[in-house]
Chain A
Amino acid sequence: DAKTTQPNSMESNEEEPVHLPCNHSTISGTDYIHWYRQLPSQGPEYVIHGLTSNVNNRMASLAIAEDRKSSTLILHRATLRDAAVYYCILRANAGGTSYGKLTFGQGTILTVHP
């Protein structure tokens, strides 16, 4: 499985933008970049995913480098509710034993200060 590297922790102030980086230098051409987050005492929650182009949804934006070896999850205005562990995951989008497999790494612990 292709690996991702994320900072262990990051801090932000409420109502400020947050940029969560992820490196994935061994990404293959068929891997989608997925982001999930896990709030305290809850199951993981889907945030966003993309392949090559930048993506936006109601929760966040995903900026993908041109060479696809890194990506950044952008929370435009952090709230206290965004404090969570954020996981960047490469998900195989083609057949084989890893097709669709979601493997979580250690993630980034995001702390949001009031």
Chain B
Amino acid sequence: DSGVTQTPKHLITATGQRVTLRCSPRSGDLSVYWYQQSLDQGLQFLIQYYNGEERAKGNILERFSAQQFPDLHSELNLSSLELGDSALYFCASSRTPRTEAFFGQGTRLTVV
């Protein structure tokens, strides 16, 4: 158990819908990272937060947004969902941007 909690574990939704994925980092970790993993794309970095502020952005679509709240948990919002958004979404956290990151078990999103 990495200490990073992601909910829900599985999510099935229809095209055009909006979903919210939640991540609770390890206690004391200030940095949160989001990744998308699909079969043909590998692990794609989406976005990074540190203590509530956005620090780095990867290939995150405009339909996707994220935030880190004062209690340090983070949410990834995916809207206008398409079939191609079906993937595993991982959250990770680290004490600081320098220290090792710990990953959650992921949320498997299926868009039908």
Which single residue of chain A is at the shortest CB-CB distance from B108?
A41
Q: Which residues of B contact A91 (CB under 8 A)?
A: 98
Which single residue of chain B is at the shortest CB-CB distance from A49?
B100
Q: Which residues of B contact A105 (CB under 8 A)?
A: 42
* Residues 39-56 of B at the A interface (beta carbon under 8 Å): 42-45, 48, 50, 55-56
Q: Are B100 and A100 in contact (CB under 8 A)?
A: no
Measured CA separation A87–B37 after assembly (Å): 14
Query: Is B2 interfacial (CB-CB < 8 Å)?
Result: yes
- Known contacts: A34-B100, A44-B92. The answer to whether A101 contacts B105 by CB under 8 A is no
Q: How many residues on A have C-beta within 8 angstroms of the other chain's C-beta atoms?
A: 24
Q: How many residues on B have C-beta within 8 angstroms of the other chain's C-beta atoms?
A: 27
Q: Which residues of A contact B33 (CB under 8 A)?
A: 102
Q: Which residues of B contact A36 (CB under 8 A)?
A: 101
A91 shortest CB reach to chain B, Å: 8
Q: Are A101 and B43 in contact (CB under 8 A)?
A: no
Q: A100-B94, A103-B45 are in contact. List 5 more A-B contacts (CB 8 A).
A: A98-B56, A100-B55, A101-B48, A104-B43, A104-B45
Residues in chain A within 8 A of chain B (CB atoms): 32, 34, 36, 38, 42-46, 49, 87, 91, 93, 97-107
Which 6 A-B residue pairings sit nearest by Cβ, starting from the closest? Answer: A100-B97, A43-B103, A104-B43, A46-B100, A101-B56, A44-B103
